[in-house]
Structure 1
Amino acid sequence: MVDRRRLRMRTAFPRTRPVSRPAEPEQRHGLAAWVRSTKVWVGTVVVAVLATLVTNGLLTVPGQLFNSEDAKDRLRQGPDFSVTVDFVHLDDEGRSGVTKDEFRPSAAQESLLARQGSAGTAAYTRLLHSIGAAGLDTLTLRVTLTGHRNQQIDIKDLQPLIVTRTAPLTGTLLCAPSQGDLSTMNMLIDMDRQFPVAHDVKFGGGPGAEGGASVEMGPPFFARRTVTLRDNEQQVLLIRAVTQRHYVAFRLEASYMLGSHEKKTVIDDHGKPFQVTALLSATGKASSYRSVYRLQQDFSMRRIDPHGGGLC
């Protein structure tokens, strides 16, 4: 007979078998392990180097491809630089002028001219300008330049643009000759030359020299230099135009660099050209002026006979 109690115990507690564990992979040793670790180290270094290059590239590329100062200048309104022109009479050139047509003064203008010391006043200078009188033999301009850009402006040339060149004017001569010595200026332009160019100024002779002191042409002004302007910086140029044979009306054209851009602008007398004329007697002309005002000992300006000779 089968022992039922032992059978029940075998059924309730079945006999277990030992579980076999999977075999652990063998660890790599020797050359294979060294190669694997070296690959990991090299990969880490390469990734770090690439990250550095990418980061630096992102920071520096805009500076190489995008000029921030140029962009700022494109947004700024107005001219690259402003120009103010003043007519000045230096000690060596007097305050003489000649009109195209005969000057017929009003009562107020006649009174101004006849006033003692009138030739040395600002009112007389304004009168010359208001009646359109050209400078006699010389014209001196004080040109003040003011920069208005973030980038530096380099003015590399100042070229006269001839509007008219004819025989000297024959209207009214207002003669107030020089009473002083030589004055300092930056540029000298001979308007009798076919292609006038701005030159340096050389002062020859002297008070004790034979013939007295003189102003002479030096080398071309812009041959060895430029005039630079930074933002809000000012430069002042004293420019003298001279003629001994002609009447010349002209403007000045400034050529300059703004960053890498070459540009030009024109300088004139509020839309009108500048004017300078030679004295008639210096050109050997037989014709005389229509009327003449000459400086008196009390520095007033009185009308004289235009055919009397010794006009100025």
Structure 2
Amino acid sequence: MANGIEGGTFHGPVVQAGTAHISMPAPAPRRRTRRAVLPATVGVVLAAVAVVWALSLHFPGEPVAIDAVDVVNPMPGTSFRLPAALDLSPDGLDALNRGDYGADGSFAAWFARNDAVWMGYTQIRITLSGGGADTVRITGLEVEKSDCRTNAPAGTLFYAPTGGNGGDDTELMFFQLTEGVGLARTTDGDSYFARRVITLKPGEQETVQTFVSAASQDCDFVFRLTVARPGKPPLRKVVDDHGRPFRLAASPEPQGGERAPFEGYGALYIGGAASRDGRFTAQDARTFSFSGAGSAGQGAG
């Protein structure tokens, strides 16, 4: 997100062209005028550029800069779905398992090209830095959800449940989209910012790791960051997915029953803890069932 420059009105130096006195026959005076104006115009432009550059050094931008926003879900190990049924050939599925996502070589590009949506949870890494002249404090981070709805199974499901907690989560901020206000919480459910405040000095960088979950509804959401500034009202900043809301679909896990709801999908691929080696394999959505790690039912690969 670009930094702005706050301040009053600034006036750059004015450059005025002189008159060149050269004895030449007519109509040379008109040509002399043009040739005298060109150096003057260049001088004004260069002076203006110099003023803007000088101001950028002496007048800082926003108190907090959002340097990067990245989805860092493990693959395989996170479920996602596509709106259309994707019938992959054995070679196509093997290429996907090898990390061959096409000409651009990027899973993110493949994910966006297929209009895919993460399911159950998503991990988002936010990189912040102090962008002003003063030390500031991050005193809150919330998720604000919108357009929540319940969707029937359809399209393609890549089902990849995890076999554990996925690693050290002690520094993660947890958010649950089923809550009325999505406050950042610790692993034991306490308010994250009741225990800790993030301080950012000018130019200092901090990475925030978030874990957002959705159990029963699909939702769009953004983060809202609260920044405390010395002698000024708190600042609220929106963190989104590069200009649009994040999207998260409801978990495909069983909700109160033994059988996961796979029957409505046009194509089903299972991986993670639901397969023998973690790689995705094609399954029949009408007959496949899974109720926990190591307990895949008929047709498990």
- TM-score, normalised with respect to structure 2: 0.62
2:223 counterpart of 1:244: no
Between 259-268 and 161-170, the greater mean CA deviation after superposition: 161-170
Q: 1:293 to 1:182 in 2, by over 3 A?
A: closer
2:55 counterpart of 1:84: no
Match of 1:293 in 2: 269
Q: 1:271 to 1:233 in 2, by over 3 A?
A: same
Which ranges of structure 2 fall in alignment gaps of 5 or more residues?
A: 1-54, 291-295, 297-301
One-letter code aligned to 1:306:
A
Matches of 1:153 and 1:73, distance apart in 2:
20
Aligned-residue CA RMSD (Å): 3.4
CA contact (8 A) 1:142 1:239 kept: yes
Q: 1:111 to 1:129 in 2, by over 3 A?
A: farther
CA contact (8 A) 2:175 2:184 kept: yes
SS at match of 1:219: coil
Which has the larger share of helix? 1
One-letter code aligned to 1:118:
R
Match of 1:102 in 2: 84
1:167 Cα offset (Å): 1.2
2:156 counterpart of 1:172: yes
Q: Once the two structures are aligned, what percentage of the paired residues are identical?
A: 20
Match of 1:60 in 2: none
SS at match of 1:279: coil
Deviation by residue 1:160-193 (Cα, 9 ceiling, x = unmatched): 1112211146332112332555422321111112
Deviation by residue 1:44-103 (Cα, 9 ceiling, x = unmatched): xxxxxxxxxxxxxxxxxxxxxxxxxxx999922467322311111259x8132123x214
Deviation by residue 1:110-146 (Cα, 9 ceiling, x = unmatched): 8553227436998445533443322221111111111
Matches of 2:96 and 2:84, distance apart in 1:
24
Matches of 1:191 and 1:90, distance apart in 2:
20
Match of 1:231 in 2: 202
Which of 126, 130, 138 matches 2:121?
138
Q: Superposed, which structure 2 residues align to 1:1-312 within 5 Å?
A: 75-77=59-61, 80-90=64-74, 94-99=77-82, 101-104=83-86, 111-115=91-95, 117-118=97-98, 123-124=106-107, 126-168=109-151, 170=153, 171-179=155-163, 181-185=165-169, 186-202=172-188, 218-261=189-232, 262-280=234-252, 282-283=254-255, 288-295=264-271, 297=276, 300-310=279-289
CA contact (8 A) 2:142 2:182 kept: yes
CA contact (8 A) 2:147 2:219 kept: yes
SS at match of 2:196: coil
Of the two, which has the highest radius of gyration? 1
SS at match of 1:199: coil
Q: 1:259 to 1:79 in 2, by over 3 A?
A: closer
Q: 1:113 to 1:248 in 2, by over 3 A?
A: same
One-letter code aligned to 1:223:
A
One-letter code aligned to 1:139:
T
Match of 2:6 in 1: none
Count of aligned pairs between the two proteins = 223
Q: 1:79 to 1:118 in 2, by over 3 A?
A: farther
Deviation by residue 1:274-297 (Cα, 9 ceiling, x = unmatched): 122223453466962232222365
